[in-house]
Chains A and B, each alone.
Chain A
C-alpha cells in the first residue's frame, strides 16, 4: 500500500498563493526534489476548497492544499514504494518534510510561512482501504505506529470519502 497522502499544516501562512507558482517552477529547473521527475505546475487557486497550486511529478503530487480551510503542503504518492505500509509512511513523511524545508528556506517566501507539527494522513487506495470501520481501525493502527507519540483523531467521513486521520505530533 503506497497510495498515501500526507499533509503538513502551516502555522503561519501570510502569503499570496500565486507566489508558489514561481517557487515550484524553480524546483523543476533546479531539480530540488530528489528521485522525482517533475512534470509541471498546475494553478488551481480559483478552486476555493481545492489543491491550490500543485507541482505534478511522476512519482507523486505536491500541493498547497486548501481543503476545509486548513492550508498545508500535501504530498500524494502515486508510484509504488518498496516497503511495508509503515515504512512507506515514513518515506512519504520524509519526502514531504524535504519539500517543507525547501519552502521554509525559500527567499521569496521568507518569514511569511512556517509549519507546525500537525499532519493529516489520507488512505488514497479504495481497494485496500474501503470507507468502513475496519479500514479506519487499520489506518489508525498504521498511523499510530508511524507517528509514535502523536495524538490521533479520525476526521469526518462522508459519502465516498477517503479515510483520513488528523495527527497532532505536538503533544
Chain B
C-alpha cells in the first residue's frame, strides 16, 4: 500500500482519495494480469499517466537496437508498453492558475520521482517525465493534498480547460473569464455525459476577440466573453465556437452561437458533449475529434441537434449555482498599487522590462512574465520562485500556452527588486513573446510520436537568436516561432509566423531529419489563420532558413510597417519557397555526415532503417524523383488555394496523391497506366490492403485520403474544405516517403 495514504489522511478530498484508491487497485490487478492491457492503458490515460518514448522496451543506441532488460520482464502496462519503462504524468492546471504551495510540491515531486524538471505544456499543464508506474499513486495523493487532480489529463476525455493568462487583468477583455472556466472545469470533470467520447475534447476561454487570448479558433469548444445589452441591462454571455483543432488536419472553429447567456454556458457544453458522445466517430480514431463531426453534419445541423439535446436535459442545479458566487470572485494584491518612477540605468533590466512586463488594467500593477527556456524549470528554481512570489503577490500565478509563467498583481514599484530576485535564480530571461521565446513540444526527447528533435532545434535557434537580439530589428523581434516534432501540431506550429514540424527524408538509403517550413499562420485573433507548409528543409539548415526569411522580410517589406503575414501574402509562397530552396539539398553521407543526425543527439538519425545506397553515382532514385514531383504538385495546390481557386486546389491535391501512389506502385508494376481509377485500385491492392502503407500510429488514415477521393464529387467547395484536401494530400505524400523508406530498407 502507498505509504502516503495514511500520512495524508484528512488532507485529501474524499472523492479524489476514492479515485486514487480505485486506480491503485487497477494497477494491482494489471500487475496480476487480471485486466486487459488495452483497457488498463485507457484507464491510466484518464488518470494522466502517459507513455513515453522507448516504453516498448527497446531503443536504438546509435549502433543497434537494444532491448532494455527491465526487472519486470514481460509485465506490461498497455499494448507494447513495458511496466518498468518510465512514463509521463500530465498534471492538469485549470486556466493555468497555480499557487506557490502547489509549485513547491510539484518541484519536490519532480525531484523525488521524476528528473528534477517541471515542463510547462502548450495547454497550461505541467508534465513530469520518467516516472515509474508504481510511484503514481503516491504522486497523485500528494498532488491531491494541495488540491490538484490529474484526472482526465489524457485519454478520450475533457482535457485541461485553458484560459487567457491575462484574464481579469487585461486591458481589452469584456470580463474576467476565470471563474467561468473554473466552473466548467468542475462541472465537466468526470461528468457521465463526457465518458464516451471517441477522442479528446479541448475547451478554452477567451476574454477578447483580437489577441491570441485563449485561442478559441483551434479548440473543440471555445467560449469568448461578450457583453450584450438585453432590455437595457448589460448581460454577460459567450460567443461559442466549436470544432476547431490543429493536429494533422487543422480545422478552424465554426461559430456555434453569437451569444449564449452565462446561465446557459454549462448546459450547452453538456449538450454538446452528449451529441459528440452519441454521434462522434468511435472506430476510426483519425476522424474521431468533434471537428470531423461538425464538418460532416455542417454547423447548422450540429447546432440544431445540440439545441434539441439541450431541451431534454434534466435540470441540474450546478448549471447556475456558481453564478451567485461570481461577485465574490477576484484575486487580491499583496501590496498597494504604486508607480514605477525609477530611472534605472541597468540595460538588461530595461530590455527585460520592454518584453516581460504587461501593465494591468488596474492602475499601479503589472503582470511579469517569466520566460522559461523550452518550458522547463528545475525543482530548485521552482521552489525558490515560490518563495520569491510570496514576497510580492498572493498566489496570482498562471502558466501560459507559450510555456511561460506569469506573476500578476505585482505592485509597480517592486518591479526592479523583483527582477533582481529573479536574476539570482536565473529566471530573468528577457524576450518573452518575441522570436527568442520559442515554443516546442517534447518531440523526440520523450514523445513516442516525435519524428525530429523539436526541442533540440528550438534550443539551437534560441541560442543563436539570443546572441543577435540586441541588434535585431523590432519587426523580427515581434515574430513567433513554434516547432512541433511531427505533424500533430502540439507546439501549435500552424498559428505561428514561422512554424516547423518534423519529418524525415531518405537520401540514398540514409534517413535525414527534416522540418517542413510553415508560413502565414496567425497567433492573434485567437489563432485566426492557419499557415501552410512551403517545403522541407534538413534540420541542420533550419537556422539558415530563419535568418534568410527574417532578413529578407525586413529588407523587402512595404513602408517599414507591413506585418509578416501581409508580407508573405503579398510576395506569395512561390517566392518564399524560392528563398529557402538553396537550403533544401542534402549532401551525401560521405560528404557531410552532420546532416544525418539531429540537434542535440549524436546518434545517426534512425540508423536502424538505414543502409548504404548501391548506386553511388545516382543522385536520386526514380521513386524519390517521382515523389518529389508529387511534392511539387501539392505545392501548386497550395498556390491555387492562396489564389482562392478552391476547385483547382482540390484537383491538384488529388493529382499529387495519384503521382505519389503511382511512384510506389511502379516499384512492383512498372508499366501501370496513368489513369486515376487504375492507380487507386492498384494502390489499394498492393499497398493499402497489404498494410505496407500503414503508419504505426495513424494506421490506414493517410491511405484512405486517396481511396475516398473519388467519392467526393463537388462542383463548388469552401476554402476550409479545399485547405483540408491540401493538408491531406501533403500527409499522403509524407506517408509515401515513409512507405518508400520502409521498402528500401527491407530490400537492403
Residues in chain A within 8 A of chain B (CB atoms): 3, 18, 21-22, 25, 28-29, 37, 39-51, 54, 56, 58, 61, 63, 67-68, 76, 78, 124-127, 158-162
Choose one: B69, B84, B426; the contact of A49 (CB below 8 Å): B426
Min CB gap A15→B, angstroms: 16
Residues from chain A with Cβ under 8 Å of B448 in the complex = none
Q: How far is the CA of A41 from the CA of B111 in the complex (A)?
A: 17
Q: Is the CB of A51 within 8 A of B117?
A: yes
- CB nearest neighbor in B for A43: B600
The winner among A37, A40, A161 for most chain B CB atoms within 10 A is A40
Interface: B310 (CB within 8 A): no
- A61, B386: Cβ atoms closer than 8 Å: no
Q: Is B603 an interface residue (CB 8 A)?
A: yes
Stretch of B374-382, B394-402, B521-529, B571-579 with 4 or more beta carbons under 8 angstroms from chain A: B374-382
Are A46 and B59 closer than 8 Å at their CB atoms? no
**B116, chain A: closest CB distance, angstroms:** 5
B130 within 8 A of A: yes
A21: B residues at CB distance < 8 A = 600-602
Q: Across the interface, name the chain B residue whose C-beta is closest to A48.
A: B426
Chain B residues with CB below 8 A from A161, complex form: 383
Q: How far, in angstroms, from A61 to B112 measured CA to CA in the complex?
A: 11
Kindly provide the distance from the CB of A131 to the nearest chain B CB, expressed in whole angstroms. Answer: 9
Q: What would 10 A/B residue contacts be, using CB atoms closer than 8 Å?
A: A42-B445, A44-B117, A47-B377, A50-B377, A54-B115, A58-B68, A78-B113, A125-B112, A158-B383, A159-B383
Contacts of A37 in B (CB 8 A): 68-70
Asked if B54 CB lies within 8 Å of chain A CBs, one says: yes
A159 / chain B contacts, CB cutoff of 8 Å: 100, 104, 383, 386-387
Is B450 in contact with chain A by the CB < 8 A criterion? no
- Give the residues in chain A near B378, CB-CB below 8 Å: 44, 47, 49-51, 67
Known contacts A21-B602, A49-B380; is A40 also within 8 Å of B387 by CB? no
Q: Closest CB of chain A to B59's CB: distance in Å? A: 7
Residues on A with C-beta less than 8 A from B112 are 3, 124-126, 162
Q: Does B250 count as interface, using CB distance less than 8 angstroms?
A: no
A160–B462 CB distance below 8 A: no
For A67, what are the chain B residues with a Cβ–Cβ distance below 8 Å? 378, 380
Q: Would you call B237 an interface residue if the criterion is a C-beta within 8 Å of the partner chain's C-beta atoms? A: no
Q: In the complex, which of the residues A22, A39, A158 has the most CB atoms of chain B within 10 Å of its own CB atom?
A: A39
Whether, in the assembled complex, B535 has its beta carbon less than 8 Å from a beta carbon of chain A, the answer is no
Whether A47 contacts B70 by the Cβ 8 Å rule is no
B425 beta carbon closer than 8 Å to chain A: yes
Q: Which residue of chain B has its CB nearest to the CB of A5?
A: B111
CB contacts (< 8 Å) of B474 on chain A: these are none
Besides A18-B600, A47-B377, A50-B117, 10 other A-B contacts (C-beta < 8 A): A3-B112, A25-B61, A25-B62, A28-B61, A37-B68, A40-B59, A43-B445, A45-B459, A67-B380, A160-B383
Among A29, A40, A124, contact of B111 (Cβ-Cβ < 8 Å): A124
With a cutoff of 8 Å between Cβ atoms, the chain A residues found around residue B377 in the complex are 47, 50
Chain A contacts for B426, CB-based, 8 A: 48-49
Return the chain A residue nearest B100 by Cβ. A159
Q: How far is the CB of B543 from chain A (nearest CB, A)?
A: 16
A126-B115 in contact (CB<8A)? no
Q: Which of A3, A56, A158, A160 contacts B130 (CB 8 A)?
A: A56
Chain B residue numbers with a CB within 8 Å of A47 are 117, 373, 376-378, 381
* Cβ-closest chain B residue relative to A125: B112
Q: Which residues of B contact A41 (CB under 8 A)?
A: 601
